[in-house]
Structure 1
């Protein structure tokens, strides 16, 4: 009798743990399901200019969620001709200036590429890709959610590196 009561208690314990894990997973994934990666309507290839590309990047960045203390500026870097397309490269530099330190010790960059196809119809929208400095993962608008933590991590790693260098 005691042996069977032990089995029942053990079974109830495992059932409790299993249900707790299911509830936690549901809570975690229900929060993520509610978020939809933001995007904008990108211009057709035929209407593209370097300045308009920069404005569209700024418009896209405005859909990101980040604290108001962050400042950024976007610069056009260069134009690259490849076999089937033209690539336009931009850099958005991020920092958090303060009253005590208006010139930040480190910045974080996001590199955008706007691709204009030479073979697809010009009425199609431009293709846009971006990467964060010191990473290889290529993001596409509307497919990944911006995380402010990525910028903080870049700046933090630069500050740690600078502390270890003796001039």
Structure 2
């Protein structure tokens, strides 16, 4: 069975092409940004609030198509000037970094709402949730919002094992038509 991150990459792969603009809303160590770059996307815009993590990741990846910003993903509209083909969030904390620094449901929800507005028609958003206590609340709040989206505008799906509780899982969103959230 594939991990939630691997499933998120499979979900996003169909909308990636040589002119694709992608957003890694939670850069961390850059696994998702590297995935976008490996698929030949034109540009990857990433957000990370930990400057040391951002600098190490950008240096290690070393690709001019990666544009990384040391700011919260809830401020993405300050940077994004074009529609986005694919966007990914890995909520929680960055492994092998300060585990006290985590995403929070309030800023993550704002980022998801803004991200949906910036997706182009047929663009996709992958959201990977983790089962720690704060992560569970974050997932519940964001999923509650996503469940209110008009099905004519967005297709929202969840991939999670039915026989396991405390494992990461994926929620995928595809924009079906031009909308304003």
Work out whether the TM-score is over 0.5: no
Rg larger in structure = 1
TM superposition score normalised by structure 1: 0.26
TM superposition score normalised by structure 2: 0.24
